[in-house]
């Protein structure tokens, strides 16, 4: 934990409250200028145009942290342009982010970590094998995007919470970070270009349904068969597939439209007609779209990718249910781009 509140973890009201709480008067427009200078534009120091009073600058230097995390490593995959960043945080914890090129040239999204490690224990995930080290604070999440964006040869127009960690396990910090990233004085990213992914933490899904935010939700299901899913996602299996489907149904009624389900394809494991039948039972009447993702497991004894025939058969089964299917590219295969891979090389 940082000893002082961090600038990257604040909205304008937070900065005003902290300074006024210490007897330093600051106007709302001054707080907005300071945060926009630091977060939106990624600048050190204070605004040179329309500067804020020196007493405010001095108070920020005394009361507010502005350190950026150290970039330990950058790994660029020359085949697809994905760039993986490994950060060392103030207490030595490691976190990762990925710069993802989008179809429109010069546009990028950033895949963000919400925890150092992860408690869900997914068998096909490198982060799951690290175990949970700790939750990240909101500022540590925002700092990842700022660092990656500042080196991008173009505009970062999206963010996805699909890196290390289970975002809904760190609900408050992730929600705060998403608010900062979508704020005009923060990341200035459109709310509908921010995506939060979960392996199915039912309480978090229901919280989002109760007070729907502008960002999108992806539910990473990977199997609709109870016993199989519990074996693949041990801790995430604390909730049954029926409970997860019920939460998704509630969320869909609250927000409308289709809910996106992510499905990591594991060759020989989770693409048969039994999965299609289970999905038809669980989500009858719920409009879904599917993202099919090829597993990225570098271990010699790890999960293999599905063959073209396995993938197409599963896709045909889903489409027969009226479910739109998109195959999502699993990038950075040549450069340890699956989350947790760079961190695992540092942790032995």
186-240 per-position pLDDT tens digit: 999 999 999 999 999 999 999 999 999 999 999 999 999 999 999 999 876 689 9
Which strand ranges, in their side-by-side order, compose the sheet holding 325-328? 70-76, 83-88, 94-101, 107-111, 155-161, 194-198, 216-220, 259-265, 288-294, 325-328
Domain that holds residue 267: 70-346
Its sign, for the CA torsion 235, 325, 192, 286, is negative
Question: Are the C-beta atoms of residues 31 and 5 closer than 8 Å to each other?
Answer: no
Q: Among 26, 42, 63, where does a domain finish?
A: 63
My answer on whether 148 and 260 are in the same domain is: yes
CA–CA separation, 23 and 185 (whole Å): 24
Rg of the Cα atoms in the chain:
21
Catalytic residue numbers read 96, 339
Tell me the three state secondary structure of residue 311.
helix
Which pTM does this prediction carry?
A: 0.92
Structural domain contains residue 2? no
pLDDT digits (tens, 9 = 90+) for 112-141: 999 999 999 898 888 888 899 999 999 999
My answer on whether 99 and 53 are in the same domain is: no
Instruction: For tokens 């604390």, name the residue.
Output: 238
My answer on whether 275 and 312 are in the same domain is: yes
Structural tokens at position 12? 């304008």
Determine how many CB atoms are found less than 10 A away from the CB of residue 231. Answer: 13
Instruction: For tokens 């270009």, name the residue.
Output: 193
């Amino acid at each position: 934990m940082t000893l002082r509140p961090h600038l990257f973890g604040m909205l304008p009201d937070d900065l005003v409250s902290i300074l006024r709480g210490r007897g330093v008067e600051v106007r709302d427009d001054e707080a907005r200028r300071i945060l926009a200078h630091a977060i939106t534009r990624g600048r050190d120091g204070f605004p040179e145009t329309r500067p804020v009073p020196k007493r405010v600058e001095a108070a920020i230097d005394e009361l507010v942290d502005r350190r950026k995390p150290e970039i330990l490593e950058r790994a660029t995959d020359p085949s697809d342009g994905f760039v993986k960043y490994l950060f060392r945080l103030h207490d030595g914890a490691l976190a990762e982010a990925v710069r993802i090129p989008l179809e429109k040239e010069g546009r990028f999204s950033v895949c963000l970590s919400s925890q150092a490690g992860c408690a869900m224990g997914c068998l096909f995930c490198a982060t799951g094998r690290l175990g949970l080290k700790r939750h990240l604070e909101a500022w540590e999440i925002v700092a990842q995007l700022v660092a990656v964006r500042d080196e991008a040869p173009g505009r970062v127009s999206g963010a996805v919470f699909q890196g290390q960690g289970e975002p809904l396990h760190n609900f408050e910090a992730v929600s705060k970070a998403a608010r900062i990233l979508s704020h005009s004085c923060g990341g200035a990213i459109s709310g509908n270009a921010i995506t939060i992914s979960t392996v199915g933490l039912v309480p978090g899904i229901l919280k989002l349904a109760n007070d729907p935010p502008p960002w999108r939700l992806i539910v990473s299901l990977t199997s609709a068969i109870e016993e199989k899913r519990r074996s693949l996602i041990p801790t995430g299996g604390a909730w049954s597939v029926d409970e997860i489907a019920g939460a998704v149904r509630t969320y869909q009624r609250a927000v409308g439209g289709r809910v996106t389900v992510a499905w990591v394809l594991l060759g020989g494991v989770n693409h048969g007609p039994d999965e299609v039948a289970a999905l038809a039972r669980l989500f009858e009447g719920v409009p879904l779209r599917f993202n099919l993702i090829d597993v990225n497991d570098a271990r010699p004894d790890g999960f293999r990718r599905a063959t073209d025939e396995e993938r197409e058969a599963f896709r045909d089964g889903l489409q027969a249910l009226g479910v739109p299917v998109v195959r999502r590219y699993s990038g950075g295969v040549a450069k340890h781009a699956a989350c947790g891979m760079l961190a695992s090389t540092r942790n032995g």
